Amino acid sequence: MKKALHPTMIRQDSSSLHDQHKPRAKNYFKVVSRKLAAVFTALLSGKRKKGSIDVNKMQKNNTRVKRISFSTSTDQSTVSDVRSSAGFKSFGSYGSSSSMSGHITTPSFSFEDICKATVNFSPENKIGEGGFGTVYKGRLKDGSLVAVKRAKKGLPQQFKNEILTLSKIEHLNLVRLFGYLEHKDEQIIVVEYVGNGNLREHLDGVRGNGLEIAERLDIAIDVAHAITYLHTYTDPPIIHRDIKASNILITEKLRAKVADFGFARLATEDPTATHISTQVKGTAGYVDPEYTRTYQLTDKSDVYSFGVLLVELMTGRYPIESKKPVKERVTIRWAMKRLKEGEFVIAMDPKLRRSPASNMVVENVLKLAHQCLAPVRQSRPTMKKCVEVLWGIRKDYKDRVSSTTAASTSHCSANFPYRNAKSDRHLFGIQEGDSYGFISA
């Protein structure tokens, strides 16, 4: 999907800021290898001991296209668990994320199996390319479809982040980890295949038949469920740090799964801590300005990015539209101004059908986005609150559409037997992933 660089893509070289860590690097590696050895020994002896590995201090200089990455000298981020990475590890069964009781089962397939599954990483099987590397579609021996993420060389940090995070989570609206593999200089992550492209492709109209307002609302709710789960129901909480439309994968039923945990962070286990001081990472246009200013990361940074995503869903525009007139270039600024001036319909994606019910959704979702985008994080709602607000909007929408449908049916059913099957599927019955999406362990 990364055929060409979009205006939102930026390149930021972080080397000069990282340089200040260099004199300490040798010591960190010593400390880290000691801790890795301890954790590995604990794993072998069957005891699960919480290690504390300062992974950001292990981080090499990282130049990324599109994503932001620069650091602060007070970087004290920690990741509280690590697993052995020798050979293929699969996470076929693991307990609840809150207990972090994931265990590594016997290796179930090898590098050769992955080569077979992807037909030697053939270009025909390539489904995407991102900062992490290339993503391939694969079919395993048992016939199941998987997405194989083949890391670019020299990104050990992101590889580790992604497997550490994915191994702790299980939720219908998050892509599921099947396993990972380190083979010579290859680093591979195998995850659930989500077959209907990503949200950005749907908004661009290069996938599917265009998303109706009810479908966009369901997608917003799915994403909100997923982030609520990460912030509230994992232990320690997880901050995704890269919520954006291209990381929202879409199923055949037009429901959403959040992917790409390369930048995710485990929040501190210290209940008195208000934030983590860490490198600023994310994608231009989505990153919380308070985080970029203070280097302080909290779950409210994800809330900010979610606010940007809501605006994107309602307007169809990219967060940064460099070809638009100056006043419209920063989409959130433009859309919030339209909202404030009572002209939110102007900001509404032209691909969306206008109706009192869909206008109501756009207005209320933009109002929620406004709260998520508050400059000061304390003023932003929690993700759980966002879910509740979105549920309310969906209920109002359904009520309004049902009453309109009932009125038009009673008045002109003989003349107007046509029903819109696509809209109807949002009015009746429970949708896949409507609950918080927990999968019982």
Ligand X SMILES: Nc1ncnc2c1ncn2[C@@H]1O[C@H](COP(=O)(O)OP(=O)(O)OP(=O)(O)O)[C@@H](O)[C@H]1O
The answer to the question of residue 247 lying near ligand X (CB under 6 A) is yes
The answer to the question of residue 166 lying near ligand X (CB under 6 A) is no
The answer to the question of residue 437 lying near ligand X (CB under 6 A) is no
Containing 186, the helix (H) or strand (E) segment is strand 186-192
The CB-of-339 to ligand X minimum distance in angstroms stands at: 28
- Whether 181 and 114 have beta carbons less than 8 Å apart is answered as yes
Say which residue the tokens 């979009």 belong to. 6
CA dihedral 251, 256, 258, 260 (to 10 degrees): 40
Cα-flanking dihedrals φ and ψ of residue 115, to 5°? -60, -45
The answer to the question of residue 260 lying near ligand X (CB under 6 A) is yes
The answer to the question of residue 151 lying near ligand X (CB under 6 A) is no
Q: Which is nearer to ligand X, 134 or 268 (CB)?
A: 134
d(CA 12, CA 280): 11
Q: How far is CA 54 from the centre of its chain?
A: 23
- Number of residues assigned to the chain: 441
Q: Which is nearer to ligand X, 138 or 307 (CB)?
A: 138
Q: How far is CA 226 from the centre of its chain?
A: 8
In 193-319, the DSSP E strands lie at 238-239, 248-250, 256-258, 265-266, 276-277, 280-283, 296-297
Of 55, 151, 227, 249, the one binding ligand X (CB under 6 A) is 249
Say how many C-beta atoms besides its own lie within 10 A of residue 394's C-beta: 19
Containing 149, the helix (H) or strand (E) segment is strand 145-151
**Residue 289: cis peptide before it, omega within 30 degrees of 0:** no
8 to 47: interface string for ligand X, x by CB under 6 A: ----------------------------------------
User: Which residue stretch of 102-110, 190-198, 359-367, 384-392 sits at the interface with ligand X (rule: CB under 6 A)?
Assistant: 190-198
Is 66 marked as a binding-site residue? Answer: no
Tokens representing residue 11 in the block: 């390149």
Q: Which is nearer to ligand X, 1 or 104 (CB)?
A: 1
Q: Does residue 193 come out as left (phi exceeding 0), alpha (psi in the -120 to 50 range) or beta?
A: beta
Of 18, 55, 57, 66, the one binding ligand X (CB under 6 A) is 66
Q: How far apart are the first and last CA of the chain?
A: 34
112 to 141: interface string for ligand X, x by CB under 6 A: ---------------xxxxxx--x------
CA dihedral 384, 385, 391, 393 (to 10 degrees): -150
The CB-of-200 to ligand X minimum distance in angstroms stands at: 7
216 to 245: interface string for ligand X, x by CB under 6 A: --------------------------x---
Q: Which is nearer to ligand X, 260 or 290 (CB)?
A: 260
Q: Which is nearer to ligand X, 149 or 317 (CB)?
A: 149
323 to 362: interface string for ligand X, x by CB under 6 A: ----------------------------------------
* Binding residue count for ligand X, defined by CB under 6 A: 25
Q: Which is nearer to ligand X, 130 or 285 (CB)?
A: 130
The answer to the question of residue 69 lying near ligand X (CB under 6 A) is no
The CB-of-33 to ligand X minimum distance in angstroms stands at: 28
The answer to the question of residue 158 lying near ligand X (CB under 6 A) is no
415 Cβ contact partners less than 8 Å away, ≥ 6 residues apart: none
Single-letter code of the amino acid located at 363: E
The CB-of-251 to ligand X minimum distance in angstroms stands at: 10
Say which residue the tokens 């460099």 belong to. 322
Q: Which residues are annotated as a binding site?
A: 153
Residues at the interface with ligand X (CB under 6 A)? 1, 66-67, 127-132, 135, 147, 149, 175, 191-194, 197-198, 242, 246-247, 249, 259-260
